[in-house]
Chains A and B, each alone.
Chain A
Amino acid sequence: MTASGGVHEEAGGRGPTVMDAAPRSLADLVPGARAAVARVATDAAPAVVRRLHDLGFTPGAVVEAVRRAPLRDPVLYRVKDYEVCLRRAQAACVHIVEVER
């Protein structure tokens, strides 16, 4: 936990303006909004944590919610110059700090 705490500070201090200190996840991000990844929830399944990391949801990475599927799930995200879709259940594992556009 100490490691992820440090990461959180780093992500906040790297430039993006922190607008809301309350913990929020990618699942709360409305289409068009951007946020920086704070950390991936440590209580999620190990496979989920690892894979989200491999897909580019690393601490500090800026993520944009691009659009939702017609039935609201899954959601298409843009991260590290490419687009990938996640279901809400997995998106909820990615804690974020919102950044100004």
Chain B
Amino acid sequence: MSAGCHDTGGTDATLIAAPRIALVGAPNSGKTSVFNGLTGLRAKTGNYPGVTVSRFVGTSRTGSHRHVIEDLPGTYSLEPVSPDERITVDVLDGRQEGADRPDALLVVVDATTLRRSLGFVAQVLARGLPACVVVTFTDELARRQGRLDIDAFAQALGVPALPVVGHRGLGIGQLREQLTTWRTWPAPAVAPPTDPDEREAWAESILAFAGYRPPERHRVTQRVDAVLLHPVWGTAVFFAVMAVFFQTVFTVAAPLQDWVEALFAWLSGLVDAHVGNPWVSGLLADALIAGVGGVLVFVPQIVLLFLLLALLEGVGYLARAAFLMDRVMARFGLEGRAFVALLSSFACAIPGIMATRTLPSARDRLATMMAAPLMTCSARLPVYVLLIGLLVDPSAKLGPFGAQGLVMFGLYLLGAVSAMLAAWVFKKLGDRHGQAVPFFMEMPPYRLPAPRAVLVAMGSSARTFLRKCSTVIVATSVVLWLLLNLPLHSDAQLRAAGVDTTDSVAVSAYTVDHSYAADLGRLVAPVFDPLGFDWRINVGVLSAQAARETFVATLGQVAAAEDPEKPEQALRTMTYPDGPRAGEPVFTAPTIAALLVYFVYALQCMATVAVLRRETGTWRWPMTAFTYLTVLAWLMAYLARTATVLLGG
């Protein structure tokens, strides 16, 4: 590693003058590992083609030298066919907004695919920026009986070249030293040819000079793929992997979630017992602690899901899954990689939408993004659990299966099928204009992912989710609590309304019934009346507009206000307070069915809207998604209610 670490301070002059070095290379070239090695910054690494999807900038320090390192999106060519590749080319040409043209380039190439990669190196060197070639996976090349003389390779190219084994950190120190001399990097004596055929001959001559022997086939990959991509066994393993995937996410996480719930219940109890002022204790226990707890309860599940995705990705299985699913996805106008994006959406639509960046076709990306919010994300789960609990008797069975589980499965299925149909419609609409992008996908050899890389990938995804929750959900639950508890009523007002002021339950029930939230819920009643929702459900649905899981917290707050001892019971026995249905129970089968279906379709997640805006660069698509999903939600909920009524529910 680099020596003089004592002088990391650096003066202001060196800070300002920090040279900008960009990393370019194909997807899977190990570019991200090199980036992580140089910068120590947390960034995602993996085997799935195109995993480097965001803009990553970090700093590398060597002695008093400081370099700004930018990890550009992976590309096979400087003739872009996808938005990601376009960004790389635009940065290299200094045309990308917000990103200065780099001072020098590190061209990352996988030693095992050099025969393909040199064409790309030629294209990059022709851009004329100072460049150094970083050769990765040299350990794998040697293991597979390949050979490359790096010094001869550098000599033939006419630019510096260094071997680096990114995930093990080998060669990173030398690369850092090399960076300090970027101003004196030699340029090729003769520029590489631009004609494709001449480029081919150029590449052959360089490899011959460097004594290159290509690697033997990767035996493990061959043997494993013979099973995992087998028409019968491969399909069986695929379904088994998916089953284990969801089993793990839902069963392994359950006890952990119970612990989180218990912890927060205990905290609330503590506040109740020790804070005298009912207002302060309410705000602390019911709004803040319940709000934070409502978010944290998902953390075990989300972290587990992201861990499994990062593992499958790191090993290389996601590329295989995309290969197996491509034909099925093609029926809906999409491609195999869209399957992976939709699979991630089972955790949360946000990583799903971000995963669409691996799709080279802009139209496929849009269609997948419009469909992703329909996949049953984990935020819907607590809502489903609560509502199914009210709808179906836990002991009811249909054959060997519990009826509750079947309803849950049906909702997941409804979401997935609707997502595929939505993708198909949006793809059809998009196909009317624009040019098709060819389908291609590299199948990397199976590689054991570095544990650190998996943890980093998992950590960054989980952080994104938590950031969304901690802000949006906690803020919503506090605002909601205030809306439900304001305005305040004096004892005189309460007595005038015939409320016994010594009965705290009666007082809080009256307060909620006459709160600002109630006004709001009654205001939108005409819209939701046909679905059978009363004002309390309306408040829940409105608050869930920010984030779905707040629905549970809202109903919890309402129910707790009406019966603090047994909120569950309060929900079951809740009746319409006024209007034509006054006195009838609220949570009847048709209403619950309508609510469930409403949650299947509605885009109730401000974070998703924000990500759609960021990913598409315009408000047009988030608005489109929001409108079509909300209208669809109302219509399907109405349909579900009508059907349930007809079935005699």
The interface residues of chain A lying within 8 Å CB-to-CB of B215 are 81
- The A interface, classified by DSSP as helix, strand, loop or mixed, is mixed
Interface string of A39-58 (1 = CB under 8 A from B): 00000010110111111101
The interface residues of chain B lying within 8 Å CB-to-CB of A72 are 327
Interface membership of B443, Cβ < 8 A: yes
Q: Which listed residue (A51, A76, A81) contacts B443, Cβ 8 A?
A: A76
Within 8 A of A (CB), among B81-117: 81, 112-116
A67 touching B442 by the CB < 8 A rule?
Answer: no
A54 touching B76 by the CB < 8 A rule?
Answer: yes
Interface footprint category on B: 35 or more
Q: Which listed residue (B76, B114, B120, B435) contacts A47, Cβ 8 A?
A: B435
Interface membership of B437, Cβ < 8 A: yes
Interface membership of A15, Cβ < 8 A: no
A74 touching B81 by the CB < 8 A rule?
Answer: no
B197 touching A59 by the CB < 8 A rule?
Answer: yes
Contacts A47-B438, A90-B440; is A74 near B327 (CB within 8 Å)? yes
B113 touching A80 by the CB < 8 A rule?
Answer: yes
B77 touching A71 by the CB < 8 A rule?
Answer: no
The interface residues of chain B lying within 8 Å CB-to-CB of A80 are 113, 115-116
Interface membership of B622, Cβ < 8 A: no
A11→B220 CA distance, assembly (Å): 32
B116 touching A73 by the CB < 8 A rule?
Answer: no
Interface membership of B606, Cβ < 8 A: no
Interface membership of A69, Cβ < 8 A: yes
Closest to A82 in B: B113
Q: Which listed residue (A60, A81, A85) contacts B441, Cβ 8 A?
A: A85
Interface membership of B400, Cβ < 8 A: no
The interface residues of chain A lying within 8 Å CB-to-CB of B115 are 56, 80-81
The interface residues of chain B lying within 8 Å CB-to-CB of A55 are 76, 116, 440
Interface membership of A99, Cβ < 8 A: no
Q: Which listed residue (B79, B196, B326) contacts A74, Cβ 8 A?
A: B326
B330 touching A73 by the CB < 8 A rule?
Answer: yes
Interface string of A64-100 (1 = CB under 8 A from B): 0011011111101001111111110110000000000
A81→B113 CA distance, assembly (Å): 6
The interface residues of chain B lying within 8 Å CB-to-CB of A58 are 119, 196-197, 200
The interface residues of chain A lying within 8 Å CB-to-CB of B200 are 58-60
B281 to chain A, nearest CB (A): 60
Closest to A49 in B: B438
The interface residues of chain A lying within 8 Å CB-to-CB of B436 are 45, 47
The interface residues of chain B lying within 8 Å CB-to-CB of A76 are 229, 323, 443
B324 touching A70 by the CB < 8 A rule?
Answer: yes
A81 touching B231 by the CB < 8 A rule?
Answer: no
Closest to A52 in B: B438
Which has the most chain A C-beta neighbours within 10 Å: B112, B215, B231? B231
B440 touching A47 by the CB < 8 A rule?
Answer: no
Closest to A54 in B: B77
A45→B436 CA distance, assembly (Å): 8
A69 to chain B, nearest CB (A): 6
Closest to A47 in B: B81
Closest to A93 in B: B438
Contacts A47-B435, A48-B438; is A82 near B116 (CB within 8 Å)? yes
Interface string of B421-456 (1 = CB under 8 A from A): 000000000000001111111110000000000000
A77→B382 CA distance, assembly (Å): 45
Contacts A58-B200, A69-B229, A71-B327; is A84 near B441 (CB within 8 Å)? yes
Interface membership of B234, Cβ < 8 A: yes
A94→B5 CA distance, assembly (Å): 54
A45→B437 CA distance, assembly (Å): 9
B439 touching A70 by the CB < 8 A rule?
Answer: no
Interface membership of A7, Cβ < 8 A: yes
A25 to chain B, nearest CB (A): 14
The interface residues of chain B lying within 8 Å CB-to-CB of A7 are 197
Contacts A81-B215, A84-B440; is A54 near B120 (CB within 8 Å)? yes
A48→B77 CA distance, assembly (Å): 12
A80→B443 CA distance, assembly (Å): 13
B263 to chain A, nearest CB (A): 46
B196 touching A51 by the CB < 8 A rule?
Answer: no
Closest to B235 in A: A70
Interface string of B192-227 (1 = CB under 8 A from A): 000011001000000000000011000000000100
A51 touching B225 by the CB < 8 A rule?
Answer: no
A90→B437 CA distance, assembly (Å): 10
B599 to chain A, nearest CB (A): 33
The interface residues of chain A lying within 8 Å CB-to-CB of B440 are 51-52, 55, 84-86, 90
Contacts A69-B229, A74-B327; is A51 near B77 (CB within 8 Å)? yes
Interface membership of B17, Cβ < 8 A: no
The interface residues of chain A lying within 8 Å CB-to-CB of B328 are 71
B79 touching A70 by the CB < 8 A rule?
Answer: no
B296 to chain A, nearest CB (A): 41
The interface residues of chain B lying within 8 Å CB-to-CB of A85 are 323, 326, 440-441, 443
Closest to B226 in A: A67
Q: Which listed residue (A3, A51, A73, A89) contacts B81, Cβ 8 A?
A: A51
B79 touching A50 by the CB < 8 A rule?
Answer: yes
The interface residues of chain B lying within 8 Å CB-to-CB of A74 are 323, 326-327, 336, 439, 441
B79 touching A54 by the CB < 8 A rule?
Answer: yes
Which A-B residue pairs are the 5 nearest by beta carbons? A71-B327, A54-B77, A70-B231, A80-B115, A56-B116
Task: Name 17 A/B residue pairs within 8 A (Cβ), A-sorted.
Answer: A45-B435, A50-B77, A51-B81, A54-B76, A55-B116, A58-B119, A59-B197, A70-B231, A70-B324, A73-B327, A74-B323, A74-B336, A74-B439, A83-B442, A84-B442, A84-B443, A87-B326
In the complex, besides A45-B435, A70-B232, A81-B115, 13 extra interface pairs with C-beta distance below 8 angstroms are A51-B438, A52-B440, A56-B115, A58-B119, A67-B225, A71-B327, A81-B114, A81-B214, A82-B442, A84-B441, A85-B441, A87-B330, A90-B440
